[in-house]
Chain A
Amino acid sequence: MSNEQQAGPTVHTIETELGRFPAPVMDGYKEARVLMQGRLREQELVNWAAQGLAIAGKTVRSWEAAAEFFKSSPAVQRQLSGGQFMRWSTVGADLCQESPSLAVAYFKASPGSLLRLRPRQIDEWAGLGRSLYRGTWKSSTLACRFYELTPNLLETLSFTEMTRFGQFLEVLSLRSYDLASQCLVEGCGLFPRLGTEREAFIGVAHAVAERSWRDVRAFFDGATALGTIDSDQRSRLLVLARRMVASGDVSAGDFVKHGSAAVRGVPVEYSGRLLEMAEAIHAVAPVAVTDFLKHAPTVLGRISFTQFEAWHTEGMGILKEGPEAGLSYFRGVSGRALEVLDTLASGVELSRIKDVVRVYCRALAGEDIELSSTQQLVEKKIGWTDSDIATTEGTTIFLPPVVDRFPSKDDNFAWYKVVSTHQVGHIEFGSFLFRYERPSTMFEDLRPLLLKSKAKDAEVAEPKAQPPRAVRAASPKTVAKSSAGKEPVAEAAAAPAAPVTDMTRFFDLFDDRTLSHDVFTVAEACRLDATVMFEYRGIVNSYRKVQARALQERPTIEELPMREAMVEFIIRLSLNQQADLKVPRDFMPTARKIARLIRRIADPVATVEDVSEATIRIYALLTDVPNNKVPEDEFEDFDPEEEEEEQQEQPEDQEFYLNSMSGEGEGDESQDSEGQEGEEQEEYESPQDVSYRGEFKPELAQLLSQLRLDQDMLDGAEPADITEEQLQELLEKSSEIEQQEGEGEQQQATEEMLKNLLKEMAKREPKDQDSGQGKFIHVDEEGGPLEATEENSFVYDEWDFRANEYKPRWCLVREKEMAEGDNTFYQDTLTNYASLVRDIHRQFELVVPEVYRKIKRLEDGEDHELDLVIEAMVDRRSGNTPSEKLYWKRNKIERDIAVAFLLDMSASTAEAIDESGRDNDDWGAPDDPVEYMVWLRSRRAEGLRRSYKRIVDIEKESIVLLVNALEMLGDTYGIYGFSGYGRENVEFYVIKDLKERYSGAIPRRIDRIAPLHATRMGPAIRHAGQRLMESEAKSKILFMISDGRPQDRGYSREGVEKEYAVHDTKVALTEAKRNGITPFCLTVDKAGHDYLKTMMQDMSYEVLSDIRLLPKRLPHLYKRLTT
């Protein structure tokens, strides 16, 4: 390149040459040389110095570059091999050729940049800077900046990303150097906040730069907001941004700004949905997306997210019709948008009012009632398909997730209330308590008569051919069902199996189950409405409103085939329609009879059995009505025939009912209806449900409650009195099971349901409780006393109430220290219940001053007690010896309390519970066993995506809260868990011993509390009592928390006498009490009252029928118990 190099390649000549340049060159050289000397070989040093000289000599100002070259050399050299180092200098020299300033910046930035650059990337890096340089002063500044900031950029960007960024800057710099410079600087601040979405961000920026470079500024501004949202959302937002940019005409800056704000404004679980909505809009009209996002927070301020989705759907429809209208909708400026918003905002969501309504229902019914969303029921896919329709199966009331039928919030809430009151009515007023044998209170009983004739029928017509009457033909689906492949079982069931429920027995009376079921449900609903309105007058107005609304939703009577028209007529009657009620002219008399029957049962004194009798009559009347369509003019207004004298039922009438029920009425019918010759009868279809009454399934509900009943008698080994065949039959013929479209599906659905129910039955067999916790030596219950040979094992007597004596040394308690898990559970609980924790602390703080009592009658103290002094004066005057105890003082009475908490760790605590309030991510696990199984299955199907809470978890949480609070009081306390299997294996886990101080191990042990085996309470209580006795405290408390009654193999003897366990437990508690221990029992068993009353007698106990109350209740109870 230059001649000097060739002239004198010695150090000396080079140094002389360097001396001709301004001093910094020489200074730099000398300083660096000292450092480099030992590291480079002589020749390398010469080459290095020569390179510096070459750089210095390139142009007028390149001496600066040379000085910088020398300065940074020592640091750079340390990071590079000899060849790489040379390369680095050559690259710099080349840059210097173009612009000394560039070279200066390059050299200056090198030590820092090379920390993060691979040596082979040096060329590329230099190239990136150079590509920004176009000979002008501004471009030089930009390129220099780039080098300068490289170390910063590389802190977050990969080299590839930085390359992309450089390319972007290049594109942008073609438009504006200033802007590119700004972006460069801002990028340094921005990238660290963008997480893994840096590349995507740069991609979008690039696109913006290419398409509408002026927008880059705004895009960078808006992007600051991107840093505030989650990575997932950010990534999606950027993908969308890219597409937005590609479709042109929109400001990416505005989009990311408002998009980020909107995403930040909704709870994380909804942000995905929000972006989906934006994407949907984008597919139709990209311009509307930003407006949508911009407006979203305002809209969400008024309505919930679910409602917001509805709002969006509405907007999408409008958008599809015309972009202009859609645009203003999403801007929130169109009248329609406001209108929709108003309606939605007046809607009431179940999740918000669930707790209030649940407690309300519970008050009315006096029973434990769960509330759940129908949506969840639908999602279970077990037959229910309409999430707008309420229903109940006896313990849970399902309500639609949102109600926005009325324009005001109050009315919508009232709708919920009406629906719940109606559904509770089923429980409160005994819909499910139907007994076949119980006589009616207002009708002659036809049921017994029918049963006889039915039996005769069965004998006569063995093959049970369908009578050749089209009218009476049961729905073909039903027929198909029972003949489809299930022959043997169905056959077997048809003959001997007695009906499982009384309801089944009743519906068995009818050839057309569907029709009878429809009539029964309407009639029963009608009775309930009447009863509710009588009992609850405050709700009558709302009720009427809801009824009126339901009427508006009914189909037109005249369009229905006649029999269906008549059923519709009944429904409308029951909804209190007064005018314009159409009936087929020919059947006016029938309609009158029906109306009279309906009027009779629409009475608070009517019973469900009355309804059943009315059903028989109405059904009989309906079988006379053919199910074909007739022209509209065949209908006329119903005329109740003014007040004819109250007709007593005539014997002929009964004759008629009986005949048509047993099929003998055929004769007159054929003359009547076959008259319309050629008229095709249509298959009878059930009427559309009345939404507030919902789906009422008395037969299934009875079945479920029967199963529950058997479940309750778990120990009372009454052999299962429902057989598989019976179940199968019930499911197959019941008209309450939703009809599926295809035959195959129908069968599948039935089988699935059957499987669930059978599982339920299986659950009633003694449980296999061996869950792998080591081997159990099986000692026969009939065996003799046990010995405590092992360490930490103890034997206790057990009370045999039948023999009225103790069985000596009968139970072996094995005490074990609880294993340790980690303390996340503990921490999480304290976080999740933060406000409750504060609350408890506040309560417990109040306890402390209470122990400072004014103690009177002391010989010495703070001051004289006036009363005592007077008393003493009096005594002296009256000649008595006055007392010397005349002082009082405030004394700290030691709160001398030792409490042992005894936790039930039996297998049943694994049962999941519904967590209300978390409506959206964890819909309730039903209490009902069958439901529960179904629920569990569907949950598994979901891949256990949701974590759910079990009873034991709540127990644990409560213990956490309590421990936290107890530490504050300083009471002595121990926490023990118990479970076991058989009398020789009563497991007693020490979570915290009474003598033990609190330590980090306690939370870890709490973590491991888990459901194990059975519940033998007696020995556990005795052992805990023993522990307490070792304590010196004045007050000793034994606090037991359990989920159910005591039960264990051989404990609830022979399974029949569950009293054995209850009695032993009671005796164990009495023993404790005799020893000066105060027992307290807290249980979450719903059926707890009965046996607890026996068990606890005059001792205190509390039954929580809602386990969710436990964390709140436990500390409270503890406080009450000890102050």
Chain B
Amino acid sequence: MLIYTIRRLLQTIPVIIGVTIIVFLLMHLIPGDAAQAIIGEGAPREQVEQIREKLGLNDPLPVQYWNYVSDLLRGDLGDSIRSNRPIADEIFKSRFWITVELAVYSTILAVFLGITAGIISAVKKSTPADIGVMIVALFGLSMPNFWLGLMLIQYFAVDFGWFRPSGWGDWSQTVLPVVTLGTGGAAIIARMTRSSMLEVISQDYIRTARAKGVRERIIIYRHALKNAMIPVITVIGLEFGGLLGGAVLTETVFAVNGLGRYVIDAIRARDFPVVQATVLVMSLMFVLVNLLVDISYRYFNKRIDFD
């Protein structure tokens, strides 16, 4: 177990290095003169030069990367061009935590709804309940979350007045974004749970349990569910990524001041260091969550041999 954990940790390092390389190179993907693009056409030459100097664009590429990484290791994500203030302060003051909250609540909702629906569907296979759940899941999977958000605002905030349409803080602001963001994940988890349950239920040991006369309820919840959850856990980890990405859209729709909205505002203001920093932080969150999922997965399923 310890060896697995260490090995898994070591495997993460090249991925993290790769992520920093891609995020670093983004600045060089800007067509033409990056400094000019950031400050906008028609800016005075001295200002462009100033930006170029500030971003270190005059140095050779390897030197730039080296400086970038050594700054990162000191917890320095660079300065915002717009506000001239350290980006790390802005991110970790509140934005990061808001996005974490949004993502965690949505994951909980997705897992709860998805697993429940998936079990119902599998246990009642080919009944109207199953077909109904699968049709709803197909919709959930196919709906753009920004549109779902707009519709929820329209009906539940504007028409019925049950919730507030924007912001983040108390429950009346939290429910709609969480539902918006959690729906897609719930659909995917429901489908995964269903197919995994069906596969487990058809196995010999379940048939044996049935033949022994074990009650159906116990078969489902004690024997089948435990094994059916194994692939579902991996999906939950991966879905967390989709969810973080989706947070960009959800936060924009609901005017939630998290990381997602920060990156969009930064793109609009051509504040490129902020774009880089936010993308980096969100990717590292995803890598970390998957690391934790993998390790806990291994911990709960000691009999699985990974290599």
Q: Do A and B bind each other?
A: no
Q: Which residues of A contact B (CB under 8 A)?
A: none
Q: Which residues of B contact A (CB under 8 A)?
A: none
